[in-house]
Chain A
């Protein structure tokens, strides 16, 4: 699509919804699905990925400056939106990589169809219920103090470069929009889709489940169990990273994706 230019953020109409999309790099398309904290267009992991891929990084409807249609209330709605996006941009053989909430979204897309998808990367993905009713699989970010959430989310114990007082009104707007949309899509059931566990078997592309070794929002064991439910999936850890490895270890994050894509065959040889 002509609206997308290398290194730029464009506003694109997908099925009547105007979303902002950052495009960067050349080569095989990689669709990056950001976590609930949103997408920082200057984040170094994008440049690392762009050495190998044509990175396509939208802000989900309701996040960043992307529009939010009133009917959208679930990750399922977002997943159908992304199927529309893959078709509208006519992307094929796409590597789909999502982090945390974006990982849940990536899984939710892939269980519907992998027609345009060649690889799936789920990093510190949520969306799955593993324990019993008395087990909180994923730390409740809505009832935990912000600094405690960050201490659990980041290997280094705090979010990098985040002085809210120094933010512009527009940056604050994005921050509060992201928070609101997270609640819209993940308030209850909290950060999960009860149906997902029964659909993961449908994923038929090589899948890498990547996990920050220090993630205490969703523990590495949660990631191992996630991987075990996806046919043939590989599990790998990133050292000195928490729930957002693309932020804390951008180079390793990108390299592990590149290595995985290079060493795995296409869909037909995956099994």
Chain B
């Protein structure tokens, strides 16, 4: 099993202002650039520690928000490409339908791949609905635009006898010829994240890694759908588990109490992530009108307000925003406690969703400090990760 560590590089100092939205509309006067500099350096230090511990690195991006200072994952990855030496660098990802210039994206990721000597994992995302307004991109046609941008970026990275021209529906280029070309040939491995079963076929058909985020036990449905499409596409069986990625919180302590305390701190993400103005939550056209109408009718109007946590058996526990440590653990969103407890819980979850080859852990979030984060990462790397790798290897061998 491959393990990645991510942090959204949060800015928790602005979380207690009582703002109705931590995203899009929170004025930047609440951001102290001196503190932001300290935070960037600290989070980079934790990723460098990961490089030493053999934990891969996962960076994402959000915009106009105190929940995430990474407004460009490619810039942070560019720094990491130089200051780390060993581990994979995953950007998951680049909101390719929200950025107006896919050619520029291809150029950026090629630099990262070359600078890191081929350690880039290339992640594309559609992005959450409240990224639409700060990006200024139209929410209309976002899926079509996503795939056209994808096709163009992949062609730009893998073409070596260019330039070529591109006259598409959304993008128009007279001369595409990316220098440098990527270190990995024909292009870095592609990852796409989604929590929507309807998006699985396009990802599975291409054999890309699918990233699911805080989905709990529902991840099984997506992985099963992926297997089905993989098989129907005539790809070699069995569908390898390294195509499946699960993103969750992990917090390890020397005692159960310490692990749970750290778990409670990283979970601050769940409580703050949803603090976003209602006008940004559901931009027109982001979801098809028929889907919206049906969901609105069935839920009595609450469909787009809350995300809920469910147990393995499908019992509803709480909303993300109001969840306790027990809720998040019960829903398979958080794995916290001693190394033994964390290992046993992850294995139990792994079996419940049919296995997965990539664990993306948000081991830092909220106001969890550097000492706790570093200690949790070290405990995980030393006492959990080797056992998980061994368990997964055995399980995968049995499957083949």
Q: CB within 8 Å of B: which residues of A?
A: 73, 142-146, 164-165, 167-170, 172-173, 175-177, 179-180, 182-184, 187-188
Known contacts A142-B133, A142-B283, A144-B279: A180-B140 contact under CB 8 Å: yes
* Selected contact of B289 from candidates A144, A145, A176, CB within 8 Å: A176
With contacts defined as CB atoms under 8 Å apart, how many contacts are there between chain A and chain B in the complex?
62
Cβ of B316 within 8 Å of any chain A Cβ, yes or no, is no
B300 touches A183 (CB 8 A): no
Listed by A's residue number, 15 A-B pairs whose Cβ atoms lie within 8 Å are A73-B140, A143-B24, A144-B279, A145-B277, A145-B278, A146-B279, A167-B297, A172-B292, A172-B296, A173-B290, A179-B284, A180-B285, A182-B284, A184-B140, A187-B139
B140 touches A164 (CB 8 A): no
B140 touches A187 (CB 8 A): yes
Complex Cα gap A184–B289 (Å): 13
Complex Cα gap A172–B285 (Å): 14
Complex Cα gap A73–B294 (Å): 25
The contact string, 1 if C-beta is below 8 Å from chain A, for chain B 147-189, is: 0000000000000000000000000000000000000000000
B284 touches A173 (CB 8 A): no
A169 touches B293 (CB 8 A): yes
B133 touches A143 (CB 8 A): yes
A187 touches B277 (CB 8 A): no
- Beyond A164-B301, A176-B293, A179-B284, list 7 extra A-B contacts (CB 8 Å): A143-B24, A145-B278, A170-B293, A183-B140, A184-B138, A184-B140, A187-B139
Closest beta carbon of chain A to B135's beta carbon, Å: 11
Closest beta carbon of chain A to B235's beta carbon, Å: 31
Complex Cα gap A40–B140 (Å): 25
Given the complex, which residues of B lie within 8 Å of A175, measured CB to CB? Answer: 293
Q: CB within 8 Å of A: which residues of B?
A: 24, 133, 136, 138-140, 277-280, 283-285, 289-290, 292-294, 296-297, 300-301
Known contacts A143-B133, A143-B279, A146-B279: A183-B293 contact under CB 8 Å: no
A180 touches B279 (CB 8 A): no
Complex Cα gap A142–B282 (Å): 10
B284 touches A142 (CB 8 A): yes
* Selected contact of B297 from candidates A145, A169, A180, CB within 8 Å: A169
A173 touches B140 (CB 8 A): no
Known contacts A145-B277, A176-B292: A183-B283 contact under CB 8 Å: yes
A143 touches B289 (CB 8 A): no
Chain A's closest residue to B294 (CB) is A169
Closest beta carbon of chain B to A87's beta carbon, Å: 28
Complex Cα gap A187–B135 (Å): 12
Closest beta carbon of chain A to B309's beta carbon, Å: 25
Chain A's closest residue to B139 (CB) is A183
* Selected contact of B284 from candidates A144, A145, A168, A183, CB within 8 Å: A183
A187 touches B278 (CB 8 A): no
Complex Cα gap A164–B138 (Å): 25
Complex Cα gap A268–B92 (Å): 64
Given the complex, which residues of B lie within 8 Å of A142, measured CB to CB? Answer: 133, 279, 283-284
A164 touches B280 (CB 8 A): no
Closest beta carbon of chain B to A69's beta carbon, Å: 13
* Selected contact of A188 from candidates B136, B278, B279, B301, CB within 8 Å: B136
Given the complex, which residues of B lie within 8 Å of A165, measured CB to CB? Answer: 300-301
Complex Cα gap A69–B355 (Å): 43
Complex Cα gap A165–B297 (Å): 7
Given the complex, which residues of B lie within 8 Å of A180, measured CB to CB? Answer: 140, 284-285, 289
Known contacts A180-B284, A184-B285: A172-B136 contact under CB 8 Å: no
Chain B's closest residue to A148 (CB) is B279
Complex Cα gap A22–B377 (Å): 66
